[in-house]
Amino acid sequence: MKLAFQLAYKNLVGAGLRTWLNVGVLSFSFIVIIFYNGLIDGWNEQAKRDSIAWEFGHGQLRNAGYDPFDPFTILDGHGVLEQKQAENLTPILIRQASIYPQGRMFSVALKGIDANQTTLEIPTQALRESTAAMPVIIGKNMADAAKLETGDEVLLRWRDKDGTFDASSATIVQVFETNVPTVDNGQLWISIEKLWEMTGLQGHATLFVANEKYQPEQIPGWKYESQTELLSDITDIIATKKVSGSIMYLLLLAIALLAIFDTQVLSVFRRQKEIGTYISLGMTRAQVVGLFTVEGSMYSIFAMTVGSIIGIPLFTYLATKGIAFPTASASRDMGVAMAERIFPVFGIQLILGTILLVVIAATIVSFLPARKISKMDPVQALKGKLQ
Amino acid sequence: MKKIFALLVFSTFTLVAQAQDANAILDKVDINLSSKNRVIKSEMVIHGRRNSRTVTSQGWSEGDDRSMTEYLAPAREKGTKMLKLDDRLWIYSPSSDRIVQISGHMLRQSVMGSDLSYEDMMEDRKLQEMYTAKVTGEENLNGRKCWVLKLDGKVEDIAYQSRKIWVDQERYVPLKEELFAKSGQLLKKTEMKDVKKVDGRWFPMTMIYKDMLKDGKGTEFRLLEIKFDQQIPEYVFSKGALKK
């Protein structure tokens, strides 16, 4: 076997440009596979981390009448929880309202949140510390859409529990930056105490966000969504992205493998005398097939080496500096949590998995043409007669 | 002391008399404006930022809980129908051939870009049922002598906590109305014009609605034809009539 590796190495190095072309294409595929998957994994981790920090916490206890995908349920989907049951939970009450920046009407979700909460990263301390009569905080996307800035006053119109209109001027005390559009787009955050006072819905909440100490329990009229369930949408999006991306890099890999396959077919055809010599020197047909297969699969070893030389510094750089995504804000408009800069994650599992994929695939495509050797007549092969 | 007592008694009586007057005025206004049913043909002029557009419609309504509206023009809106039964509202759009129920926050959206929300169009309870009235003064409006009435909500489930209306002293028709939020913020203003006698009652043929929180010139609602107490077939107020 050692001989097979030595011979394979010498043959490949001896083949010169042909080898390096194959290795180049294969190492490019190797880098692209790792890069793409690393990027998607990085996005996945960032989206999950941000969604947990800004929206989901360690789970959510939602009023049974509330469905986040059905705005019709906001009106009645709220209730009161006993103080003991609400321990380790941050209440959020959602009401629908309108704001009138520069005389234009904007429908918004007015979200009341406990100003003392620390479960979510929403900067509610700004609500606590403000001296304005009606302090509110908004996300950057919302601020851009409504053309509002910190310190601006905007007329807010809402309805109380009986449906009676009320209106007052609200002060934007902070514009926060977040990658999670579901706490930003079309939303106004206000202290829940203030919202209770405004609507007369004292003690009511649409949902509660759990912190790490919360122990889920069955509460009639409420349904608990664990962190995993809440993150399943992101997981699904990422899985779809992975599949769609894999088509691209599998095509690239297929081209590289086709090149190896062609090279192998050509080798078996052109090196018949060599094959005959090996057999006449005492090698079995299987050994010769093994030799050619090792030679083919060695392309992948070379590709790994070249890929590592280029990839390690490149991936290290990308993982530390991140990749800027100018289209991130457009993605956020569509409701996908995406940062302006994504830091790819190149896990050991990904790298080993890719190595295994490339080596096995290269070995298989090398073996297929080499099988022909086992049917060769060594005498004819020695004579160099075409078979 | 006696004088003060007499003054107090007098002002109490004046207030009671005023309240009664106000309620009597509201009664007469309700008589003028409400009917068993009505069939109207109207046009709504919606003033946008750049241009204005006119929407013509035919409407059938019965009391304050059943109404059907069919849009006749422009071509884009033609055939669109709106059915209101109690507090539910359905819209039929011929382009999609679908009936959609409007509820929740959608009811607060404006109707075809106008200053009227679906909710505004749906609300037509009698003023007497919702408010206690008080005459706060008299004013001349477009050459007509009016009482100025302040209405304060007496029930909880009303959209506007208070209203101010200017009622023509001779015809008992409101000529102007202002709607306020609980905080006292003016939300909407309506002006009524072209008061005509139709079937023995005075009725404003033009109404100009203005959402005071929004920029713009408001929405003009003109009645081209109005008939009271007609025989309206029952099927008109059914969901089946939406697709016909």
Helices (H), chain A: 2-15, 17-51, 125-129, 140-146, 192-199, 227-270, 272-280, 285-321, 328-333, 348-370, 378-383
Distance from CA of B101 to the nearest CA of A (A): 11
Q: What is the CATH number of the domain that holds B49?
A: 2.50.20.10
Total length of chain B: 244
Question: Closest to B183 (Cβ–Cβ): which among A72, A75, A167?
Answer: A167
Number of separate domains in chain B: 1
Q: How far apart are CA A95 and CA A75, in angstroms?
A: 7
What residue type is B169 in one-letter code? Q
Query: Residue B26 sits in which domain range?
Result: 1-244
Å between A146 CA and nearest CA of chain B: 14
DSSP string covering A15-54, please?
HTHHHHHHHHHHHHHHHHHHHHHHHHHHHHHHHHHHHIII
With DSSP H G I counted as helix, E B as strand and the rest as coil, what are the percentages for chain B, rounded to 5?
25, 50, 30
**Residue B149, strand partner residues:** B135, B165
With beta carbons under 8 A apart, name residues in chain A contacting B160.
164-165
- The one-digit pLDDT tens for each residue of chain A (387 residues) are 677 778 778 877 777 887 788 788 888 888 888 888 888 888 888 888 999 999 999 999 999 999 988 877 888 899 998 888 888 999 999 998 999 998 888 889 999 999 999 999 999 999 999 999 999 999 998 999 899 999 999 999 998 988 888 999 999 999 999 888 889 989 999 999 999 999 999 999 999 999 999 888 888 999 999 999 999 988 888 888 888 878 887 888 888 888 888 888 888 777 777 777 887 788 787 888 888 888 888 888 888 888 889 888 998 898 888 888 776 666 666 666 677 788 888 888 888 888 888 888 888 888 888 777 777 776 777 776 655
Distance from the Cα of B48 to chain A's closest Cα (Å) equals 12
DSSP, residue by residue, A169-181 = EEEEEEEE--S-G
Predicted structure pTM score:
0.76
Contacts of B157 in chain A (CB under 8 A): 162-164
**B155, B158, B180, B185: which to substitute to probe chain A, counting the most A Cβ within 10 Å?**
B185
Give the position of tokens 């790994």: A304
Q: Report the residue of chain A nearest B110, measured CA to CA.
A: A105
**B104 in contact with A, Cβ within 8 Å:** yes
Structure ipTM? 0.76
Dist. CA B117–CA B136, nearest whole Å: 29
Domain boundaries, chain A: 2-53+232-383, 60-213
Using CA coordinates, name the residue in chain A closest to B106. Answer: A72
Best CA proximity match to A163, nearest among B65, B143, B122: B122
